[in-house]
Amino acid sequence: MTAKLEPNVMAKVNSWLNGDYDIDTKQSIQQLIDEANDTELTDAFYKDLEFGTGGLRGLIGIGSNRMNRYTVGTATQGLANYLNKAFPNEAKSVAIAYDSRIKSDEFAKIIADIFSANGIDVYLFEALRPTPELSFAIRELGCKSGVVVTASHNPKEYNGYKAYWDDGSQVVAPHDANIIEEVNAIQSIDDVKFDGDTSRITKIGADIDEKYLNHILSLSISKDAIARQKDLKIVYTPLHGTGVTLVPSLLAKMGFEAVTVIEEQAEPAGNGQFPTVVYPNPEESEAMSKAVEKAKEIDADLVMGTDPDADRVGIAVKNHHGEIQLLNGNQTASVLIYYLLNAWKDAGKLTGTQFVCKTIVTTDLIDKMAAAFDVKCYNTLTGFKYIAQVIREKEGIEEFIGGGEESYGYLIGDAVRDKDAIASCAMIAELTAYAKDKGLSLFDMLMEIYKQFGFYYEGLISLTKKGKSGADEIQQMMADFRANPPKTLAGSPVTRMDDYKALTSTDFNSENTTAIPSGEMGIEPSNVLQFFTEDGTKFTCRPSGTEPKIKFYVGVRAALEKNEDFDSVYAELKEKVKGIGEELGLK
């Protein structure tokens, strides 16, 4: 053993060399020892890959801090133990899906074996499928839980594991903490039951696909407009992910006849390598570039791209200059919600008991629109599991129309309890056809919204602070903002501070502090600060829970009188966001 390793790392390495691990794993560890690769050994073994509130995510490889059969196995055994405690003397089943990443299918098989070995029936998708279909399947099949193997839009070297509860939502309190406790209680790999019971494992696929797609088709509002605009030119890229399994066929079922799929990005992951993109993330212009180029070539009306597990979608449309322009998550969420609100109103379905839902860092334009339709808008912490929590708590009392978050995740209807890029692609294509049927582009519709409700613009300032010193710096920044709130932002007085860690809201004009209700409606203690100004500016400070980053969300607004003013107002708002970042020294 190399002498440079810390004692805790050496102990962990020895436990793997001497424990019940496969020979290939032990040989790989020994090779790193022989090479004196202390850096890799330390990073792979200095801690256990943590099972957080959403599950696991990490680099693929050997070691306790990597995604491999043993870390995946331990997580699954812990979840199985909790299910058997939470539902004693009950028949239990789980659903399992996986994406196109390296080892995703292998991990899914291991997960299925462990659940089955623990007396739990398993529904395992026969091939890769989108995350939202997993959520749908849990509810459709009456499962107690579910797992999807995915690392979302992370680089190719990563994989992950997301755990779901019986309502099709990612696990929330108290189950999240209870599952973590069970996972942490496993002391030895010998406690993990890897030998599966094949009689308890059922393969699923086309039957669930049909039910899921029929559900999405039932959400359609403007079938006549689609029929008239069936030649709407759509370019779609699955970015080497699971969206290719359903989006093209869904658009065809809806009646769209001019859909172009980016073929070089249609092969799922290229054996996990994502060969045509740096990051398979539809938020990145680079990832969307091939689809945008094709749209320019064929003069397309709409571009859509989904991430590897197809829960998020990015879009591009022709702007008022005839150029293909990427829309951000706030803009897409706004046009989606606007379309849904109008459709429900036109159908006479708004009775005062409907609601939409979004996260606290998503554009307040949605709140403004909802109020105009006398529809409630609930705001939750960041994360779609909190939106799902609101849907669950309001079930049978109020009716969910739709919701979204600025990070490109949207949901229409409540049969799925996670962000759903498959249904979103369908509804975005439909609303584009609806707009074109009225002689408008989707971008024209966005400008109409801005003229009616105000031009809302949101900017994100993300600072990376690596290592322990970086983590300390992030905590200090949050402490400084709490102790010394900004008095003004862009010259406008700060009138209120909401502290989600203390769960208090302070009105600086009256100097009154009130409690922010928690424990329900998607709110619990979280290290987030929000500041509001007299002129409607919103500034949010939020450390990332998964990356060494602190994020600052800046929302500003202005009036837009006419389309011709769009460029000048847009430039003014962008400059205002930039100025706020500079005055607060965010660098």
Q: Which residue do the tokens 């769960």 mark?
A: 503
- Are 147 and 163 within 8 A, CB to CB? yes
- Are 548 and 467 within 8 A, CB to CB? yes
Q: What is the bridge-based pairing of β-strands 492-499 and 488-489?
A: antiparallel
CA distance 502 to 146: 33
Q: What is the bridge-based pairing of β-strands 488-489 and 145-149?
A: unpaired
Catalytic residue flag (residue 15): no
Cis peptide before 174 (omega within 30 of 0): yes
* Cα 526 → chain centroid: 18
| Residue 12 half-sphere exposure toward CB, CA atoms < 13 A | 18
CB atoms within 10 A of CB 180: 19
Q: What is the bridge-based pairing of β-strands 313-318 and 302-306?
A: antiparallel
- Are 171 and 123 within 8 A, CB to CB? no
Residue 415 CB-density burial (10 A; 0-12 exposed, 13-18 middle, 19+ buried)? buried
Eight-class DSSP state of 191? G
Assign 3-state DSSP to the chain and report helix, strand, coil percentages, each to 5.
40, 20, 35
Find the distance separating the first CA and the last CA of the chain, reported in whole Å. 42
CA distance 22 to 45: 17
Q: What is the bridge-based pairing of β-strands 145-149 and 354-359?
A: unpaired
CA distance 260 to 71: 40
Give helix 7-18 / helix 23-34 axis angle, nearest 10°.
Answer: 140
Structure tokens at 495: 């009138």
Q: What single-letter amino acid sits at 445?
A: M
- Cα dihedral 38, 39, 42, 45, rounded to 10, equals -100
Q: Distances in Å between the alpha carbon of 561 and those of 444, 451, 519?
A: 14, 6, 42
> Three-state SS string across 390-417, please?
HHHHHCCCCEEEEEEECCCEEEECCCCC
Q: Which of 145, 152, 407, 526 is catalytic?
A: 152
Q: What is the bridge-based pairing of β-strands 504-507 and 512-515?
A: antiparallel
Structure tokens at 133: 């279909």
* Cα 504 → chain centroid: 27
User: Active-site positions?
Assistant: 152
